[in-house]
Every structure is written in C-alpha cells, then in structure tokens.
C-alpha cells in the first residue's frame, strides 16, 4: 500500500484433492466480465486501501532477490491501495512522537500451541494465515501445506463497476464464489480436507475507506449497513452454516467518527459472537478483525471498541504495513512493538495468542515484506511473546512457490510444534 493522507496516531504437507486441483485454474487474470458475474471479483482488497475501483497494476515495490517474480498478479481488483502514480504526500511526522525505545513487557502466557499431527500446521497458536483473493487462481498444494487458516476475500454488499462500486442500499451480501469459478462449498470442503481452517472476510476497501474522503461527507457501502446490524449478523451466520465455514473476519477500514458507526462495529462483533455460540454450540466458530494498524493505536475509536468487546474477538490481526512505520527498521519496529504490546496487555489482558502480526507481500505495499527479513521480525516477536498468535499476510497470489509462507511454517513446526 502507499502511505495515506491520514497518518497514524503512533503495521502440512497435505495434498489437495483432485476436486480442488480441477477447480483451480492457471489463469490469474481477472477480467471485467468475471467482475460483473462474481462477487469476489467485485472487491478491491480488504487489506490495502484504494482510491480507485478500476483495474490497475501497481507496478512499484519490486521484490528483492528473496522473493520470486510473481508476474502481474495485481490485475483485476486493485490491492486496495492508491496506484503508484499520484501517491499521497506525507503531512509531517506522526503525532505519536518519538518511537518508543524501551522494551515492552514480554508475554509469559503458559498456553500451549497444539498440533494436528506429524508435519501438519499447528493451528491454534503459531498460525500462518493467508488471505485468498478469490478472483484469482486457487492456492496450490504447496501453498496449502504451509497455511493453517485462509481468509476468503471477500463478502461484500456491492456490485463491482469500473466507474465505482454499486452499493446495495439494503446491505444485502451478494453470493460469494470460490476461487477461479469454484463454488464456495466445494472450496471450503477441499481446504478442510487439506487441514486448513476457512473464514470468510466481510468488508475490505471496496466497502469504503477512510482515505476516500471526509468522514460524514461521503457515502460508501458501509453507510447502508450501519442501521442494519442484525440483518448483517443473520446473513453472515447463514453463510457460515451453509458453507461450513469456521468463522467470519471483519475487515472494516472505514469511518468511526460518530456513534452510529462505532456502535455498528461493536454490535456486529458481539452480535456474531452471540449468534455463533447460539447456532453452533461447541463448534468454536471464530470472530476476527483485520484493522488498519494505525486505527488500533491507543486513543483511536477502533482501539476502544476492540478493548470493550475483546471477549467476543478470537483474533485481532493488525495490518502492520500501512501506518507509516516499517517493522524492518528499528524506529518503525519500536513503534509497532509498543502498539502490539498495548493490544496484548491492555486489550487482551496479557494473552498474546489473540494478536496476529500482519504482512503484505504485494508490490506497492509499504513496506512490501521479504524473506528472510519477515521471519527475523517474527522470531523477535516470538522471543518477546512466546505464545503469540502467529502471522497473516496479504495475499496468496504473490506467495508463488510458498516462498513467503514456508519459512514461517518451518520455523513454527521446528520450534513450537511437537
């Protein structure tokens, strides 16, 4: 992603069944006709912010030698980021002051990470979570051997249009396809057969982003939903039931400038938790959030919301690649470390297993993560928080050959999994 005009207040080897392989096309291109016929293709990504709905190639942020050439994986819905031309200029130093240099308290939880068996991913802690862009080719067998969870992106309430997404005024969630034409139920069943937990990510940049205008003076798809919380909860619960999903991720990147928007986000979280516990007793359906990193800094409304509803959140997954700080330089790492520590100790009462560290590997992200640098950061956080929630990344099309995910999986399996 590019830097935002708004700056922060402080970023198995299982083999897939022949069914999945048949469903996964080698064609990574997303055409306009695919966009109009499937909901997934309507989405600008939920982990990157976008100022355009048109198809674009980011073209910047070339990979280092540690990351292979990925080709033009940015065709179709944009990464949710502004294009590399016309990048917003910075507005000065972040208002959080100097990055902290002190050492936040380390996590000493005794919760154990579990294993699903010989060579399989430890899927309770030590997670490797991939966002799956369902308008592109399905993950390969090699990729799925590294993943513990996937987040299918996205469930949305609009129809994609090159001139701007057409929001449904009733906040009705459109049908969600699997990747490259696979139906969602088949995709979920095949991922489960590969030992991977599957969540549906609701929202994303195409639903509306804070960078697109002035809060209170613009109307985006989220605005049609804020007075329909129970309807959204019911629709998502039905999707989980119909497709045997393991839960729902909330990817909200929009305004929280007033009580209606704040109440919607809080009530959606608690409503999903209540609905899942009631409708799926004993099944441990997950409720997760994937917020912009600077939106969950102390003092921001999102931070207060997650603190107030922390008991309803299974995983909080900050996008540590869009707040103006990089975990790959010391000053940025210090600020991110402090934010992570606040979330662990102030929000989740010391339970680091609730917090998942987010990376982006798509060209144009800021920063675009590489290996072994990302593994080094992850190892440092494992030293600070031995039972932390693992990592996630946007997005699977750029993880060709599992170049990014495999080092994490190997590290976790060798050091944490029996």
pLDDT tens, residue by residue, 5-28: 333 333 333 333 333 333 333 333
Is 104 domain-assigned?
A: no
With b for 16 or more beta-carbon neighbours within 10 A and e for fewer, the 200-220 pattern comes to bbbbbbbbbbbbbeeeeeeeb
Is 13 domain-assigned?
A: no
65 is written with which tokens?
A: 């030698």
Is 102 domain-assigned?
A: no
Q: CA-CA distance, 18 to 41, in Å (whole number)?
A: 24
The boundaries of the domain holding residue 153 are 18-83+111-415
Is 2 domain-assigned?
A: no
Q: CA-CA distance, 305 to 255, in Å (whole number)?
A: 13
Is 170 domain-assigned?
A: yes
Give the pLDDT score at 416: 83
Give the pLDDT score at 110: 35
Give the pLDDT score at 1: 35
Give the pLDDT score at 323: 84
Give the pLDDT score at 340: 98
356 is written with which tokens?
A: 């998942």
Report percent pLDDT > 70 for the chain. 70
Q: CA-CA distance, 392 to 357, in Å (whole number)?
A: 6
Stretch among 73-77, 220-224, 248-252, 355-359 having the lowest mean pLDDT = 73-77
Residue 418 banded pLDDT, cuts 50, 70, 90? low
pLDDT in tens, 213-247: 999 999 999 999 999 999 999 999 999 999 999 99
CB 190 within 8 A of CB 32: no
Q: CA-CA distance, 177 to 40, in Å (whole number)?
A: 6
Is the pLDDT score of 341 beyond 50? yes
Residue 324 banded pLDDT, cuts 50, 70, 90? confident
pLDDT in tens, 279-300: 999 999 999 999 999 999 999 9
Q: Mean pLDDT across the stretch 389-398?
A: 97
Give the pLDDT score at 69: 36
Q: Mean pLDDT across the stretch 46-70?
A: 35
CB 265 within 8 A of CB 232: no
Is 291 domain-assigned?
A: yes
Is 100 domain-assigned?
A: no
The pTM of the full predicted model, rounded to 2 decimals, is 0.75
pLDDT in tens, 86-136: 333 222 333 333 333 334 443 333 333 333 333 344 555 679 999 999 999
Is the pLDDT score of 195 beyond 60? yes
| Packing angle, helices 229-243 and 184-193, rounded to 10 | 60
Q: CA-CA distance, 349 to 347, in Å (whole number)?
A: 6
Is the pLDDT score of 43 beyond 70? no
Q: CA-CA distance, 10 to 99, in Å (whole number)?
A: 8
Is 353 domain-assigned?
A: yes
CATH of the domain at 398: 3.20.20.80
CB 109 within 8 A of CB 124: no
Q: Mean pLDDT across the stretch 164-192?
A: 93
Q: CA-CA distance, 201 to 1, in Å (whole number)?
A: 19
Q: Mean pLDDT across the stretch 343-366?
A: 96
Q: Which of 87-91, 120-124, 328-332, 364-368 has the highest mean pLDDT?
A: 328-332
Structural domain count, the chain: 1
């Amino acid at each position: 992603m590019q830097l935002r005009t708004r700056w922060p207040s402080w970023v198995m080897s299982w083999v897939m069944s022949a069914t999945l392989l048949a469903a996964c096309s080698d064609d990574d291109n997303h055409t306009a006709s695919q966009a109009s016929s499937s909901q997934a293709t309507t989405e600008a990504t939920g982990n990157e912010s976008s100022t355009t709905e048109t198809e674009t190639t980011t073209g910047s942020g070339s990979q280092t030698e540690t990351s292979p050439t990925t080709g033009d994986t940015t065709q179709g819905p944009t990464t949710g980021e502004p294009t590399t031309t016309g990048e917003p200029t910075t507005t000065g130093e972040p208002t959080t002051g100097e990055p902290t240099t002190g050492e936040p308290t380390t996590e000493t939880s005794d919760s154990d990470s579990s294993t699903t068996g010989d060579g399989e991913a430890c899927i309770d802690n030590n997670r490797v979570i991939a966002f799956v862009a369902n308008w592109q080719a399905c993950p390969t067998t090699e990729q799925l051997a590294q993943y513990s969870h996937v987040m299918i992106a996205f469930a949305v309430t609009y129809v994609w249009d090159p001139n701007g997404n057409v929001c449904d005024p009733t906040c009705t969630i459109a049908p969600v396809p699997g990747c490259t034409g696979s139906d969602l139920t088949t995709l979920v069943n095949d991922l489960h057969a590969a030992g991977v937990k599957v969540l549906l990510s609701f929202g994303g940049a195409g639903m509306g982003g804070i960078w697109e205008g002035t809060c209170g003076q613009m109307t985006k798809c989220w605005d049609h939903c804020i007075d329909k919380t129970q309807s959204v909860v019911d629709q998502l619960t039905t999707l989980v039931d119909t497709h045997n999903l393991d839960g729902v991720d909330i990817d909200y990147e929009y305004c929280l400038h007033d009580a209606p928007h704040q109440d919607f986000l809080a009530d959606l979280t608690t409503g999903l938790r209540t609905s899942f516990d009631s409708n799926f007793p004993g099944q441990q359906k997950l409720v997760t959030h994937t917020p912009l990193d600077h939106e969950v800094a102390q003092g921001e409304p999102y931070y207060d919301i997650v603190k107030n509803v922390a008991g309803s959140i299974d995983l909080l997954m900050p996008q540590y690649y869009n707040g103006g700080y990089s975990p790959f330089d010391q000053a940025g790492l210090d600020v991110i470390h402090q934010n992570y520590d606040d979330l662990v100790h102030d929000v989740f009462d010391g339970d680091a297993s609730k917090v998942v560290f987010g990376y982006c590997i798509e060209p144009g992200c800021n920063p675009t993560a590489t290996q072994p640098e990302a593994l080094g950061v992850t190892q440092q956080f494992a030293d600070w928080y031995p039972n932390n929630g693992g990592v996630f990344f946007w997005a699977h099309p750029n993880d060709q050959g599992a170049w990014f995910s495999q080092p994490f999986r190997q590290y976790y399996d060798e050091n944490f999994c029996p």
